[in-house]
Amino acid sequence: MKLFKLALGAATAWLALGLATASAQQAQAPVDLTVLPPVPHDYQPKKTSWGEPDFRGMWPIDHLGGLPLQRTVEQGNRVFLNDEEYAVREARMERSRNAAAAETKANKLGMGNWVEMTGAGRRTSLLIDPPNGRLPELTAEGKRRRDIGRSSWVKGQTFDWVTDFDSWDRCITRGFPASMLPFRYNNGIRIFQSPGVVVIDLEMIHDSRIIPTDGRTAVPVKLTNWMGESRGHWEGNTLVIETSNIRTGAAPLNMATIGAPPNNVIPMSPQAHVVERLTMTGPDSLIYEMTYSDPVIWTAPYTVRLNWQRNNDYKFFEYACHEGNVQIRNYITASRAQRAKDAAAKAEAAPAKE
């Protein structure tokens, strides 16, 4: 969360220009709202000194913060909004864009300075497969694990120890692949490159994904990380990243992205596998696609697509989550106190034994 955005004149100017350009591009609805154009491969990006496509820079996805993960059932197979739907969405996003300035002018501090969703575009959902833009069904085992999941996002849950919280509650990580999808704030993504390595640096909790591209072998399956073990390679100008060995416990959709399932307790098995494809389509544009599969949990794989925009004026600020994180203790203390109070009231209301 960045409370300094009004001081960043350059970033604000870039954002205004980017939003104006995006709005102009989105103004006209496609002829067929059910057809998603294929990823173009005709752009030739500049190369690094060692000969790879140069993806380096800042690629924040706050301009997609308002785009739902799933489309509504009523939207069916429509990839894009119609004109009426788009007007409603844009009016909502405009209120979000102006909220921080309105709060500052009123000498207030609230959600406007916290939430950083600057756009959503014309797409109906981040999901592009299945064709209905909705997550596939969970398997029976997936539903069982979902129902016993623990997280502060679960309504009515009691808390007694740290195992009653997920990894994001505890400021460990948002998890993978959730960290690659938009949230309400801290949507910064930065790419570094060196010979044989790509690093995807994330603003949220300052996670960094180190991705070898030198052909090294995978590590044993018993070695897991919250961000998984990734291996990358180049297919022409497209960076392809395959990730496995993802540590279970960080729910893959525990990100509260708009349109995600309620409660955010979505389990993951050791068989989870992710394939990402990053293709530059212009000097400051990139299409990111991610296909996620986990046959233990999901009945089918699913794919999301995001259109990234380079913004090298975007700034990362400290995300001091773990420092002073008193909420875990507070949740546990309050939950124990409430249960003790309820037990005392129940005992008092019980009829006396003769």
- Identify the helix (H) or strand (E) that includes residue 69: none
Contact predicate 123/80, CB 8 Å: yes
> Residue type at 201?
D
Query: What pLDDT, on the 0 to 100 scale, is given for residue 126?
Result: 97
In the chain, count of helices (H) and strands (E)?
4, 10
Tokens for 164? Answer: 């009653």
Contact predicate 67/121, CB 8 Å: yes
Q: Is 253 exposed, middle or buried (0-12, 13-18, 19+ CB in 10 A)?
A: buried
Domain spans of the chain? 49-80+127-345
Query: What pLDDT, on the 0 to 100 scale, is given for residue 26?
Result: 52
Query: What pLDDT, on the 0 to 100 scale, is given for residue 350?
Result: 82
Contact predicate 243/233, CB 8 Å: no
Helices 9-26 and 83-105 cross at an angle (nearest 10°) of 160
pLDDT digits (tens, 9 = 90+) for 87-122: 999 998 898 888 888 998 999 888 888 787 889 999
Q: How confident is the model at residue 156 (pLDDT cuts 50, 70, 90)?
A: confident
Q: pTM of the prediction?
A: 0.88
Cα 95 to its chain centre, rounded Å, is 22
Query: What pLDDT, on the 0 to 100 scale, is given for residue 23?
Result: 46
Q: How confident is the model at residue 254 (pLDDT cuts 50, 70, 90)?
A: low
3-class state of residue 192 by DSSP:
strand
> Residue type at 326?
V
What residue ranges in 54-178 does DSSP mark as E strands?
57-58, 127-129
Query: What pLDDT, on the 0 to 100 scale, is given for residue 251?
Result: 57
Exposure b/e, 154-190, CB count within 10 A at least 16 = b = beebebeeeebbbbbbbbbbbbbbbbbbbbbbbbbbb
